[in-house]
Structure 1
């Protein structure tokens, strides 16, 4: 029986999943358009929207991890096609498809978010993710393939430079003693996961039979305010906390001229209101440690120090 794990995506999350798999002594094939992969993993170049290429990339897989994500401005055109390609590839290999998802499907939630929170998106991107999720679970119910869904909050960590809100616009300014650029209310609660915890959760889903057919909220520390997390980041960077918060109306206005801000504007509710993501069900089923923010921040600051921002 095959023990090969195939990871689609070589960004921050895909790289973290690959590190976790290699750390467990498992054979890993990383599939991306660039064809790059961490040392110790097999690299494979393919376009995830090409079903035939994906089937070839998934050959012999026991589990397939969907960590591939299109540019934020191209979700409608590319995201469903990526998932369709991976469904075809995982089904052909008779592999478990582990899908990394976010909380956009829930819309604005008052109170804690759990696996039982209704799917009720309030954004275009949330509607895209909701349709993708329903299609994935329908394929599982039909017996087309086996699926395990790992849903996580916003994450940060090594390599998460431009792919997350808490990336280069926060850590590089903190290291330079300049204001971190954030969205929304600095004192509203928010939940973040450390990227290595997110990855460890996905690998657990891909290696435990009882995870299949269900949605799991992946491990993360309790919610805290943006200001509290920024205090930890600036302290680790050796500077006093400085914050520049962009109000929602400004993001909306600038969105007419800056495409990425236009896409982010509809998600402002996540930063203006409490965002309390809970992972109790996962921890009860699988256990494991959650990296405290202080330690996760320290590791992330060290990575950003070692990878200074290119000038120009």
Structure 2
């Protein structure tokens, strides 16, 4: 049994890949409800409790950790969540594959690779660093087998709360104007959610992937402006790209906690943010590489248009 924690976009990407491989899949979330195929078992569990986590992971071979507390409540809650998950994975002798981001490195100059130290000075970066280091320490101690896959800002089916999530692609698909943060001409790596999901499954299938962190494959890094222009091209519309400054984000943060939390992470959008995924490609080969950027954008536009039709 392959167990996926959470029912968000990354969880669904992992699920799709596992189903393609004919695996039995269980999705675990707090409601016990999820928009998934009928053959997928959906289980309600409180992962913030030790007993809830143990019950949810029973019978698991691989556990894909794609769940997280609300973005503005990471401190304390995320560590508690991971403590229960790792204890349950150890109890059931299940492998743990962590879907991670890149916050722990902090404000990096130059390509972002797995050998960098964890030097984040942001609150959320420190949380991610603590969790990642704790997971790798548990692996070294033999408590639980852990592999970590890290992606950049992601986009694709079911992606809502992302820099280039539903709001961005809904505007692009309809030929409307979009607003983006930071220096639009600085290079910025984006991760297609299906590539992220496939990569986590790949890690689960290889013994030598455990005990390490891996940057998952992504298409070529382009500027944010180029990414947006290619998205409009995929949608068959002329680009209508605007900018949103820190002031607007701070104003939004007065009413939306998640918007307020984005402010400390703005350094990622105000200078080059170039993620190196060559380690993954060297180990797993070009066949494990990313979806071409234009293809991924067309698939994302098509999915958003389909959702708009369903809503109507």
TM-score of the aligned structures, taking structure 1 as reference length: 0.94
Q: How many residues align?
A: 307
Q: Say whether 1:51 aligns with 2:50.
A: yes
- Output one character per residue of 1:41-62: Cα deviation in whole Å (capped at 9) or x when no partner: 1111112212211111111211
Number of the residue aligned with 1:152: 151
Number of the residue aligned with 2:18: 21
- Output one character per residue of 1:155-203: Cα deviation in whole Å (capped at 9) or x when no partner: 1000002x21111221111122221121111111100111010001101
Deviation of the 1:260 alpha carbon: 2.0
- Output one character per residue of 1:251-301: Cα deviation in whole Å (capped at 9) or x when no partner: 235434432221011111101110000111111111213101100010110
- Output one character per residue of 1:199-247: Cα deviation in whole Å (capped at 9) or x when no partner: 0110111111111111111111121101111011111222211112112
Q: Return the alpha-carbon distance in structure 2 between the equivalents of residues 53 and 101 of structure 1.
A: 22
SS at match of 2:110: coil
The range that moved more, 45-54 or 244-253, is 244-253
Instruction: Structure 2: give runs of 5+ residues left out of the alignment.
Output: none
Number of the residue aligned with 1:82: 81
Q: Say whether 1:62 aligns with 2:53.
A: no
Q: Return the alpha-carbon distance in structure 2 between the equivalents of residues 206 and 35 of structure 1.
A: 25
Q: Return the alpha-carbon distance in structure 1 between the equivalents of residues 246 and 107 of structure 2.
A: 15
Would you say the 8 A contact 1:172–1:309 is kept in 2? no
Number of the residue aligned with 1:292: 292
The 1:82/1:309 distance shift into structure 2, 3 A limit, reads farther
Would you say the 8 A contact 2:220–2:293 is kept in 1? no
Q: Return the alpha-carbon distance in structure 2 between the equivalents of residues 250 and 164 of structure 1.
A: 17
Q: Say whether 1:182 aligns with 2:180.
A: yes
Number of the residue aligned with 1:6: 3
Instruction: Structure 1: give runs of 5+ residues left out of the alignment.
Output: none
Number of the residue aligned with 1:306: 306
The range that moved more, 26-35 or 16-25, is 26-35
The range that moved more, 243-252 or 107-116, is 243-252
The 1:27/1:167 distance shift into structure 2, 3 A limit, reads same
Number of the residue aligned with 1:255: 253
Among candidates 9, 28, 32, match of residue 29 of structure 2: 32
- Output one character per residue of 1:123-168: Cα deviation in whole Å (capped at 9) or x when no partner: 110011111112212211222111111111111000002x211112
CA RMSD of aligned residues (A): 1.6
The range that moved more, 256-265 or 26-35, is 256-265
Deviation of the 1:36 alpha carbon: 2.9
Q: How does 1:182-201 map onto structure 2 within 5 Å?
A: 182-201=180-199
Q: Return the alpha-carbon distance in structure 1 between the equivalents of residues 187 and 152 of structure 2.
A: 12
Q: How does 1:198-237 map onto structure 2 within 5 Å?
A: 198-237=196-235
Would you say the 8 A contact 2:69–2:78 is kept in 1? yes
After TM superposition, the runs of 4+ consecutive aligned structure 1 residues lying more than 6 A away are none
The range that moved more, 248-257 or 290-299, is 248-257
Would you say the 8 A contact 2:45–2:53 is kept in 1? yes
TM-score of the aligned structures, taking structure 2 as reference length: 0.94
Q: Return the alpha-carbon distance in structure 1 between the equivalents of residues 301 and 171 of structure 2.
A: 11
Would you say the 8 A contact 1:190–1:226 is kept in 2? yes
SS at match of 1:61: coil
Q: Return the alpha-carbon distance in structure 2 between the equivalents of residues 286 and 97 of structure 1.
A: 19
